[in-house]
Structure formats: structure tokens, C-alpha cells
């Protein structure tokens, strides 16, 4: 009976995994040819046309890390630092481990005007945020799912194999801790989706109130990243990286 | 007397020193040169190199009464050289006070006339309270109980001497400290100490040990030698040298022996020999001081001081050797300069090259051997134009003549060839290595496009939002719970027998019913009833967790009342049991119809009991 059960579990796991893989697998012939066309335009320094081609893919509802990367390069060459950084940021969400991307992103950020603002976080927060930066949302989701499976498996092992009971339970407790931390990380990542924004105007004043005549608290420069807290009419309340909040007109930003 | 003789013999044997085998020598010694009236003096006439000399007749010595004690011979082999000697021992007893001269003795031996040095002896009147004969008893002992300070000075003293009384600054002079011991037990001798700020004194080497005659008395001598040189000019008094040692003295509280005790043998044998060695001797620490030694230190004269004088003192020679004499420009030549001779080698510095033009000169390597100092210097000629190694000068102050002296070595001709092409390359190498040290200026721009689009995905579609993902998680969890429940059930079956039997009962009954049905169709009445009986009994036993053999109509009735089983079912059970009983005796009376009824009612009973919660 036991062997049969384990066999069944195996079959199920294989079936479902196949299902997920299949779901993500699609032939994007149309998109690929547009991508290649755009690259040719880029080589001819025809950045506007290249951007148009890349955007056509996005309009079709498809995205990829490399696509955003190339788009970022186009905007960078065109001199639109804000949109370049915006696309690099989008690419980072899809391929956070890409070295070329990291290099270009850092270079682009180094060109931002104004003083770099950084808020010193405590060590564990810094370590965790650095760790979670290396994951995409889907990657983290799969990791958590795997952890969840491991926990269930180790509990079952502790039931069926008495000699391994202690170890298996200890293991599951550890996995549980990892799961909780990972879950918090995933939740944080998801909460930032469509809540981050890049300044595309040359400079944007962050004001105390969502009114034109309100006092300016601080100024944001092209390429700076902010977090959207709330919105009102055509104003966004944003939080800078040093945790200072202010109201910014929504046409100076692009949310991603 | 016999005792004295034996000690004398031993002592003579002990004293006899090594002599050359070829010549016969006469050595005359006394054990002391100051003596009180009534004491005895020992005179030894030692003939080195032979044993074939009869005792010379020395009866007539002025102021003494001489007695011949006997000869003692000795043969020694040192480093394979055999030496022999004979010592004729006499006892001299002074007759009157005054200063007397012993000898010179002239003895004829093997056709030669040997003459000794004269020895002066001072005879004083007996010390007050002194016991004249007690000396006779103790004089031969290696240590005595009665040594006064005066005597001790004569028998144990330290002499400090220097090779020169007048020396130049930095001039090496030998320093000798001698410890003289006459018939005393001295041990734990330490190295002498000389406290001075005016001289630099090297460490003492291993001391030499020998015998020496001093003022006609034979002493054991320990000689410490070293070198020293003055570091200041002026008049100094060196010393005193101090030396620490332990004097072995017989303990005072020994049994006093009467000088008139004739019982010589008794006295000799009464002494415990072990007591003698371990009990009676004591070590007294002593610090000996020598006399001070005046030394005059002369400064080096200013006049005639040559140029380039580096303070070398002594008497030296200079040897110079250069190899190779034929080189290419840039190749090294080793110049070996050896300063030989005697003097203070610490003060010898590198001999001077008259000029260093055209050469690259390296620091010399210095080796110092005994009585020579070698300087090896590497010279590298810069170009092929160099024709010789320049003149070498070495100047020193000759302490013997008291003048400065300059040693000159003539220029050494050398042949220098043009350097090979490879040489400039060697020079260039370090420059090549320098280049990377400069900070590199790197350009900066973005990295080029990606060639492939990578994996496309739907915008805004995340895995966590997909239905399939959550379905998978939920199904996994359901499966997990299912496995756990199944496991718990298996566990219950193993541990809970009532539960297990209850669960097993319908399955077993079903099998029984199938068997019964088959027997019914085949018309095997007897087997049919056996099967019916077996099935119902086992089913009831499993169902109610009772022992199988205990199932009777009575137990079923009691049980049915307890559990509230419907009476009609109970009646049916009873009927089946009764029919089964009947069939054993008259199986033929049951028709097919009857058997089918029984089968039917058995089914009904099982159905009922399965549905009933009991």
C-alpha cells in the first residue's frame, strides 16, 4: 500500500510540473521578428524606430527581460535617462541576475542629477532585501512552493519512518522558518508591483500638499525612483528612498 | 714515621711532572719557604727523564738537619710519549732561625752534572702556642685545620699580569691571571672577574692547569688568559682581579690527636675512612684578590698620521688578489684583500681604493680568521675604458716601532671588453614593469543590446495569480491529508483489535455467504449447514469482539438485550442455530426451499447488524 501511495504522489507531481512548464511555453514568432527588426534599427542608430518596434511587442501583451533591457539601451542612447532607467528597472524585475543589466543600470543611475539619497537600513533588513532582489516574483513563488512541498514531505517521512522522525521534524521546522521569511519577501515584492515609479521629467518638485502653490519639500530629478503611496486627482503622493514623502504631479512620473 | 713515608710517597708520585724523555733534568722544590722552628720542611729532588739516580747525599745543609725519607718513582705516558722520573724526598728540620739557602745542589747522573737553582728558606721562631709536631701530622694532608691567614696568603694567591705595562690605545695585550695553590684543597673555582671601565676585556678561555715552581715552592697553577685593549689613554691601575672559590678544610671539631701518641696504627685505624671523606671536610667560600697592576696607555701620536688612517693597530701585511682580470663592462670583478699579521683585528677596516672612478663598488664581505681578516669586494667596471684597478692603501699604527706605516698595493691592470647588446635590455626591464603601475583610464558606456528576446511572458501575469498553481497546492495538501488519514487508519488496525475485527467481519461474512450460495446450488446440505454455522458464528464473534468458541444461543441472547438488538433478528439468529443443530442429526428433512430461507435470513441478519450502530 505504501509503495503504491508514493508512486501516486510521484505521478501527480510529474503531471502538474508538466502542466506548468507547458503553460509558460509558447512560440512568439511574431514578437521575435519584431525584436530582431528593432535591433537592426538600433544598430543604424534609428532609436525612435527601434523603440517603436519594441513597444509593438509590449502592446501585444508580451514582455521579456531582454526586451526591456534593449528598450532601456535605446532610451539611454536617445538621451532619455528617465525612461532608460524605467526600462532597466522593469528588466530587473524579470532578470535580476543579469550582469550586463546590472552594469548598465548602475551607469545610468550614476548619471542622475542631484545628490544620491540613501536611507541606512538595519543590517538584517539590508541582508534580506539584497537577497530578495536576486529573485523574480515567479522565482520566489516557485521557491516557496518547493519549500511547502518539502515541509509536507518531511512531515510524511516523520510519520512513516520512525527512526527519522526527529530529523524530519526539525527539518520541517527549519523549512517552515524559511517559508515564512520567503513569504514575507514575496509579499513585499508583490506590494511594490505597480507601486514604484521613475521620474521622467527633468526635475519634479515634491510638495507638502497636492496643490500647485504648495511649498516644495524636496526636488526629484530625472531617473530617480520613488514609491507611490496614494494618489489624488492628478497628484501622486510619493516616498523617496530616505522615507521623505511629498506630492508630485502625475505626469512627471511613470509607474511600473 | 711509616705514615709520613706513605704520604710522602703518594705526594711525590702526585707531584712528579712530565718531563722530556731525552734530557735528564733536576728540579728541586720545597713545600714551603717559610718555616717555624720545630716544624719540618720537605725537600724534593726530582730527576726527570730517568729513574736510575741514587739518592744524593745532602747531609750537610746549613741550619737544617736533613733526613732521607726515600725515593718515589713515576712513569707516565702522555700522547704516546713515555716519561719517567724519580723523586728523592728529604725532611729538613731547622735547627736555628734565620734565612738559609738550600743548594744549589749539584748531582752527577749518567755522566752529567746537574745543578739546581738555589732556594731561600726563612726560619722563624715557633709561633706562640704552636704545636711543633702537629705540623708534621698535618703538613702532608691536602687540607688542614690550622691555617692562619698569613699562611693562607702564601699558599693560595692570585697574580694578575699583563703582556705590557705600556700600551697604545686599542692595542691588544695579553692578560693573564694565575691562581697559585700549594697543598690546599680548592674546588668550585669560578672565572676571575676584573672590573674596569678603561679596558675592553674579552671572555676568558678554558684555563690551563700546570705546576710551577715559584720562589722554590711547587704550586699547582690554574692560568686564565685573554686579550684586552685600552679604550682610553692615560695611566690606569688594572684590577684587582677577583676570583671566587671554595677552600676545603678539615672540620675543627675532629678528635684531637695527641702529638705524643705512639699508638700510631691504632690512631690510624680508629679513624673511620668514610668519615674522613664525607664527614670531616667543609668548604669555606673564599674570594681571592690579586694586587693591582699599573698600566700606562699611550695615545696614538698625531704626527706622521697618514691620510686614511682608520685606527688599525698592530703589525700587518696586505695581500691583494683580483679575479677575473679580463671582463666585459658590467661584469663583476672580485677584489680579495687579506690583512695578515698580529694586532687588534677589530680595529682593522677595509683597505682603501685610491679612487672609485669608472667602477660601481659594492659593500665588502668580511671574514675574520685567526691572525687574518679577509675583505671581498665586488667591483663592476662601467665601461671598456677602464684599464686598471686603482692603488690600494692600508695604513696602520705599528705598535712595535711606535710609528705609522702605510701598505700600498700597486694598481692592478685589467682588460675590460665592450658590453654585449643584451645588456641594455636588462636595464630596460624595470621600466617595462613600471608601466602598469599608472592608473588606467577606462571608458564608460552602456553594454550593447541583447541579441535574443529571451523568454516572452504575458504582461502582468504572475504565477501566484494562476489558478493551476493554487490547484496544485491545494491538491498537494489534500493528498497530504489523505495519506495522513490512511496512515492513522492503518495504525488503528494494528493497535485496536476490536476495531480491526469489526472492520474484518463483513468482508469475512461476504466470503462465507458466497461459499454458502455455491453449496446451496450444488445441493450439499451437510456442508451447507457447516458453512452457515461457521459464518454466523465467526461474524458474530468479530462483530461483537467475542471469543469465537463462546458464541452460543444463550450468550447471543444476553448480548442482544444489552445492545438492544431487534427481537426478530434475535429470533432469526436463534432459528439458524437451531436449524444447524437439527441438521446434524437429520440433514435429510430440510428441503431446498428451507435451505434458501435459511440463506436469506442469514443475509438479512448480517445486513441488519452492519447497518446497526452497536
Question: Of A199-203, B116-120, B422-426, which has the strongest mean pLDDT?
Answer: A199-203
Looking at the structure, tell me whether residues A86 and A102 fall in a common domain.
Answer: yes
Domain boundary among A192, A207, A237: A192
Looking at the structure, tell me whether residues A92 and A127 fall in a common domain.
Answer: no
Looking at the structure, tell me whether residues A160 and A94 fall in a common domain.
Answer: no
Contacts of residue B445 in chain A, CB cutoff 8 Å?
107
Q: What tens digit of pLDDT does each residue of B477-533 get?
A: 999 999 999 999 988 888 888 888 888 888 988 999 899 888 888 888 888 888 888
Helices (H), chain A: 2-24, 29-43, 47-59, 65-78, 81-94, 99-110, 123-133, 137-160, 165-192
Residue B470, chain A, CB below 8 Å: the answer is no
Look at residue B143 and tell me whether its pLDDT is greater than 60: no
Q: Phi then psi for B193, rounded to 5 degrees?
A: -120, 135
Helices (H), B92-207: 132-138, 149-155
What is the number of structural domains in chain A?
3
Which residue did the predictor score with more confidence, B159 or B22?
B159
Q: What pTM, to 2 d.p., does this model score?
A: 0.45
Contact assessment for residue B204 and residue B191, using Cβ atoms and an 8 Å cutoff: yes
Question: For residues B529 and B516, what is the distance between their CA atoms, to the nearest angstrom?
Answer: 8
Question: For residues B105 and B53, what is the distance between their CA atoms, to the nearest angstrom?
Answer: 14
Q: Is residue A200 part of a domain?
A: yes
Sign of CA dihedral B548, B551, B556, B559: negative
| pLDDT value, residue B257 | 46
Under 8 Å CB-to-CB from B133, ≥6 apart: which residues? B38, B259
Q: Phi then psi for A108, rounded to 5 degrees?
A: -60, -45
The boundaries of the domain holding residue A205 are: 196-255
Look at residue B435 and tell me whether its pLDDT is greater than 70: no
Q: Is residue A24 part of a domain?
A: no
Q: Is residue A167 part of a domain?
A: yes
Cross-chain Cβ contact B455/A20 below 8 Å: no
Looking at the structure, tell me whether residues A130 and A187 fall in a common domain.
Answer: yes
Q: What tens digit of pLDDT does each residue of B41-71 get?
A: 888 888 888 777 777 777 677 778 877 878 8
| pLDDT value, residue B266 | 44
Exposure string for A179-214, b = 16+ CB within 10 A, e = fewer: beebeebbeebbeeeeebbbbbeeebbbbeebeeee
| pLDDT value, residue B147 | 57
Q: What average pLDDT does the segment B84-108 reach? A: 81
Q: What is the pLDDT along chain A (256 residues), one digit of tens a residue?
A: 445 566 666 666 666 665 555 444 456 788 888 899 999 999 998 999 999 999 999 998 999 999 999 999 999 999 999 999 999 999 999 999 999 999 999 999 988 887 767 677 788 888 888 888 889 999 999 999 999 999 999 999 998 888 888 999 999 999 999 999 999 999 999 998 889 999 999 889 999 999 888 899 989 999 999 999 999 888 999 998 888 899 999 899 999 8
Q: Which three cell numbers stand for residue A120?
A: 541606512
Q: Is residue A7 part of a domain?
A: no
Residue B187, chain A, CB below 8 Å: the answer is no
- A19, A64, A149 member nearest B454 (Cβ): A64
Looking at the structure, tell me whether residues A185 and A206 fall in a common domain.
Answer: no
- Tell me the average pLDDT of chain B: 77
Minimum Cα–Cα distance from A256: chain B residue: B460
Helices (H), B293-332: none
CATH of residue A45's domain is: 1.25.40.10
Looking at the structure, tell me whether residues A106 and A160 fall in a common domain.
Answer: no
Looking at the structure, tell me whether residues A187 and A209 fall in a common domain.
Answer: no
Under 8 Å CB-to-CB from B244, ≥6 apart: which residues? B188, B189, B190, B285, B286, B287, B288
Nearest residue to B207 (alpha-carbon basis) of B229, B191, B227? B191
Q: What average pLDDT does the segment B72-93 reach? A: 81
Q: What tens digit of pLDDT does each residue of B175-197 get?
A: 888 888 887 778 778 888 888 87
Q: Is residue A20 part of a domain?
A: no
CATH of residue A229's domain is: 2.30.30.40
Question: What ipTM goes with this model?
Answer: 0.81
Q: What tens digit of pLDDT does each residue of B318-331 get?
A: 888 888 888 888 78
What is each CA distance from B173 to B8, B315, B373, in whole angstroms? 42, 13, 19
Cross-chain Cβ contact B468/A32 below 8 Å: no
Look at residue B593 and tell me whether its pLDDT is greater than 80: yes
Contact assessment for residue A157 and residue A168, using Cβ atoms and an 8 Å cutoff: yes
Residue B110 DSSP class: T
Looking at the structure, tell me whether residues A62 and A95 fall in a common domain.
Answer: yes
Q: Which three cell numbers stand for residue B185?
A: 684543597
Nearest residue to A198 (alpha-carbon basis) of A92, A54, A63, A90? A90
Question: For residues B474 and B379, what is the distance between their CA atoms, to the nearest angstrom?
Answer: 91
Domain boundary among A55, A85, A110: A110
Contacts of residue A155 in chain B, CB cutoff 8 Å?
480
Under 8 Å CB-to-CB from A4, ≥6 apart: which residues? none
Q: Is residue A12 part of a domain?
A: no
Q: Is residue A18 part of a domain?
A: no
Looking at the structure, tell me whether residues A53 and A106 fall in a common domain.
Answer: yes
Looking at the structure, tell me whether residues A183 and A248 fall in a common domain.
Answer: no
Helix (H/G/I), strand (E/B), else coil: B5: helix
Q: Which three cell numbers stand for residue B478?
A: 489534500
Contacts of residue A57 in chain B, CB cutoff 8 Å?
453, 456
Looking at the structure, tell me whether residues A88 and A156 fall in a common domain.
Answer: no
Sign of CA dihedral B595, B601, B607, B612: negative
Report the first-to-last Cα separation within chain B, whole angstroms.
138
Domain boundary among A145, A171, A192: A192
Looking at the structure, tell me whether residues A155 and A203 fall in a common domain.
Answer: no
Residue B308 DSSP class: T
Q: Is residue A157 part of a domain?
A: yes
Q: What average pLDDT does the segment B367-387 reach? A: 82
Which residue did the predictor score with more confidence, B221 or A22?
B221
Amino acid at each position: 500500500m505504501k509503495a503504491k501511495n508514493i508512486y501516486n504522489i510521484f505521478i501527480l507531481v510529474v503531471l502538474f510540473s508538466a502542466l506548468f512548464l507547458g503553460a509558460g511555453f509558447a512560440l512568439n514568432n511574431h514578437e521575435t521578428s519584431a525584436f530582431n527588426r528593432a535591433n537592426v534599427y538600433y544598430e543604424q542608430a534609428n532609436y525612435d524606430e527601434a523603440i517603436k518596434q519594441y513597444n509593438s511587442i509590449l502592446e501585444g501583451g508580451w514582455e521579456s527581460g531582454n526586451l526591456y533591457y534593449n528598450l532601456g539601451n535605446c532610451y539611454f542612447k536617445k538621451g532619455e535617462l528617465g525612461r532608460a532607467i524605467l526600462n532597466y528597472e522593469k528588466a530587473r524585475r524579470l532578470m535580476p541576475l543579469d550582469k550586463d543589466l546590472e552594469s548598465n543600470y548602475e551607469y545610468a543611475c550614476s548619471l542622475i542629477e542631484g545628490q544620491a539619497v540613501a536611507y541606512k537600513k538595519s543590517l538584517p533588513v539590508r541582508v534580506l532585501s539584497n537577497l530578495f532582489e536576486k529573485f523574480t516574483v515567479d522565482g520566489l513563488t516557485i521557491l516557496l512552493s518547493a519549500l511547502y512541498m518539502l515541509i509536507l514531505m518531511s512531515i510524511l517521512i516523520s510519520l512513516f519512518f520512525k527512526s527519522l522522525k526527529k530529523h524530519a521534524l526539525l527539518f520541517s521546522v527549519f523549512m517552515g522558518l524559511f517559508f515564512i521569511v520567503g513569504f514575507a519577501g514575496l509579499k513585499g515584492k508583490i506590494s511594490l508591483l505597480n507601486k514604484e515609479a521613475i521620474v521622467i521629467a527633468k526635475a519634479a518638485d515634491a510638495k507638502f500638499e497636492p496643490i500647485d502653490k504648495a511649498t516644495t519639500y524636496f526636488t526629484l530629478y530625472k531617473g530617480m525612483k520613488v514609491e507611490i503611496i496614494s494618489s489624488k486627482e492628478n497628484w501622486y503622493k510619493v516616498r523617496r528612498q530616505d522615507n521623505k514623502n511629498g506630492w508630485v504631479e502625475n505626469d512627471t512620473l511613470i509607474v511600473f | 714515621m711509616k705514615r709520613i713515608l706513605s704520604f710522602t710517597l703518594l705526594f711525590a708520585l702526585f707531584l712528579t711532572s712530565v718531563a722530556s724523555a731525552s734530557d735528564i733534568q733536576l728540579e728541586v722544590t720545597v713545600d714551603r719557604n717559610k718555616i717555624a722552628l720545630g716544624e719540618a720542611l720537605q725537600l724534593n729532588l726530582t730527576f726527570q727523564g730517568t729513574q736510575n739516580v741514587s739518592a744524593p747525599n745532602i747531609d750537610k745543609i746549613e741550619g737544617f738537619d736533613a733526613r732521607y725519607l726515600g725515593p718515589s718513582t713515576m712513569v707516565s705516558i702522555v700522547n704516546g710519549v713515555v716519561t719517567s722520573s724519580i723523586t728523592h724526598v728529604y725532611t729538613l728540620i731547622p735547627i736555628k732561625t734565620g734565612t738559609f739557602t738550600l743548594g744549589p745542589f749539584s748531582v752527577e747522573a749518567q755522566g752529567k752534572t746537574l745543578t739546581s737553582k738555589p732556594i731561600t728558606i726563612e726560619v722563624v721562631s715557633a709561633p706562640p702556642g704552636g704545636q711543633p709536631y702537629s705540623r708534621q701530622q698535618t703538613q702532608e694532608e691536602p687540607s688542614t685545620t690550622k691555617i692562619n691567614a698569613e699562611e693562607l696568603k702564601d699558599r693560595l694567591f692570585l697574580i694578575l699580569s699583563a703582556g705590557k705595562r705600556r700600551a697604545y690605545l686599542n692595542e691588544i695585550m695579553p692578560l693573564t691571571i694565575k691562581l697559585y695553590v700549594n697543598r690546599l684543597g680548592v674546588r668550585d673555582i669560578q672565572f676571575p672577574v676584573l672590573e674596569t671601565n678603561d679596558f675592553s676585556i674579552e671572555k676568558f678561555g678554558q684555563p690551563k692547569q700546570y705546576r710551577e715552581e715559584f720562589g722554590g715552592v711547587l704550586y699547582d697553577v690554574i692560568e686564565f688568559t685573554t686579550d684586552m685593549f685600552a679604550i682610553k689613554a692615560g695611566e690606569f691601575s688594572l684590577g684587582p682581579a677577583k676570583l671566587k672559590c671554595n677552600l676545603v678544610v678539615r672540620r675543627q671539631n675532629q678528635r684531637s690527636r695527641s702529638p705524643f701518641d705512639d699508638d700510631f696504627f691504632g690512631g690510624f685505624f680508629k679513624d673511620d675512612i668514610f668519615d674522613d671523606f664525607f664527614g670531616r671536610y667543609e668548604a669555606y667560600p673564599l674570594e681571592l684578590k690579586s694586587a693591582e697592576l699599573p698600566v700606562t696607555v699611550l695615545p696614538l701620536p698625531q704626527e706622521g698620521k697618514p691620510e686614511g688612517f682608520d685606527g688599525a693597530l698592530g703589525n700587518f701585511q696586505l695581500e691583494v688578489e683580483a679575479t677575473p682580470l679580463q671582463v666585459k663592462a658590467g661584469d663583476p670583478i672580485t677584489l680579495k684583500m687579506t690583512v695578515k699579521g698580529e694586532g687588534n683585528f677589530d680595529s682593522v677596516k677595509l683597505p682603501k681604493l685610491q679612487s672609485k672612478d669608472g667602477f660601481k663598488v659594492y659593500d665588502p664581505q668580511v671574514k675574520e680568521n685567526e691572525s687574518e681578516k679577509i675583505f671581498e669586494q665586488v667591483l663592476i667596471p662601467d665601461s671598456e675604458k677602464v684599464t686598471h684597478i686603482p692603488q690600494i692603501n692600508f695604513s696602520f699604527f705599528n705598535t712595535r716601532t711606535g710609528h705609522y706605516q702605510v701598505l700600498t698595493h700597486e694598481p692592478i691592470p685589467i682588460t675590460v671588453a665592450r658590453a654585449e647588446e643584451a645588456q641594455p635590455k636588462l636595464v630596460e626591464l624595470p621600466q617595462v614593469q613600471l608601466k602598469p603601475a599608472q592608473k588606467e583610464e577606462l571608458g564608460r558606456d552602456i553594454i550593447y543590446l541583447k541579441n535574443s528576446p529571451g523568454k516572452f511572458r504575458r504582461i502582468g501575469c504572475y504565477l501566484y495569480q494562476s489558478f493551476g498553481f493554487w490547484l496544485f497546492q491545494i491538491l498537494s495538501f489534500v493528498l497530504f491529508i489523505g495519506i495522513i488519514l490512511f496512515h492513522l487508519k492503518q495504525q488503528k488496525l494494528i493497535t485496536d483489535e476490536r476495531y480491526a475485527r469489526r472492520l474484518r467481519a463483513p468482508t469475512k461474512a461476504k466470503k462465507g455467504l458466497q461459499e454458502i450460495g455455491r453449496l446451496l446450488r450444488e445441493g450439499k446440505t451437510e456442508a451447507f449447514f457447516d458453512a452457515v454455522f461457521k459464518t454466523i458464528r465467526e461474524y458474530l464473534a468479530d462483530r461483537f469482539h467475542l471469543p469465537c468458541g463462546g458464541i452460543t444461543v444463550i450468550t447471543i441472547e444476553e448480548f442482544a438485550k444489552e445492545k438492544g438488538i431487534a427481537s426478530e433478528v434475535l429470533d432469526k439468529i436463534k432459528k439458524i442455530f437451531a436449524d444447524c443443530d437439527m441438521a446434524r442429526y437429520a440433514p435429510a428433512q430440510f428441503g431446498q426451499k428451507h435451505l434458501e430461507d435459511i440463506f436469506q435470513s442469514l443475509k438479512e441478519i448480517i445486513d441488519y447488524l452492519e447497518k446497526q450502530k452497536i
